[in-house]
Amino acid sequence: MFDELKKYKNTGAFNFKTSESLKEKCNAPIDKGGVYLIYKIVGDKEVLIYIGSSGQRNKDGTLKIRKGGMKDRLVNGYHPHRFGEIKRIKRHEAFPQQMQAANITELKFYWWVTYDDINSDFPTDVEAKLSKKYFEKFQKHPEWHKF
């Protein structure tokens, strides 16, 4: 669905189950920014539930990379959808809780570095493009988005 991601060569993926450590499973870079897609595994299908990014545009037009990079965003970032929680909880805690509540046994994470020596696409711009494309196709946002 997202053919525009094919141009990014620095990419990876990993699966995650509630019995595992997200910090240990996550293989996203600690010094780069980019976009990521999170899918729930339903039988033998992957269903997209979240589109996200790590890295922001500085005022001088350069990329500001979060300390710990994309990995830290995925593991320790606060998810915008609080899954019914009042307080903000980090993803390594929130994801397993929500997976159990929603009867999801496994997630699949895909990530792409969008700003490096080869590409200079700001992660937030790429995320917006992917979110728009998804919305135009399905007339809704992925289920873990909160708008």
Domain boundary assignment for the chain: 3-138
41 close to 108: Cβ distance less than 8 angstroms: yes
Predicted local distance difference test score (pLDDT) of residue 84: 64
**pLDDT tens-digit profile of 101-137?**
899 999 999 999 999 999 999 999 999 999 999 999 9
* Residue 25 φ then ψ, to 5°: -80, -30
Q: Which two tokens stand for residue 35?
A: 């976009």
Predicted local distance difference test score (pLDDT) of residue 45: 96
Predicted local distance difference test score (pLDDT) of residue 82: 62
Taking the model in full, what pTM does it have? 0.92
How many whole angstroms separate alpha carbon 23 and alpha carbon 74? 9
Assign 32 to helix, strand or coil: coil
pLDDT < 50 regions, the chain: 147
Question: Could you give the angle at which helices 91-101 and 69-76 cross, rounded to 10 degrees?
Answer: 50
Predicted local distance difference test score (pLDDT) of residue 66: 86
Cβ-Cβ contacts under 8 Å for 91 (sequence gap 6 or more): 22, 74, 75, 76, 77, 78, 79
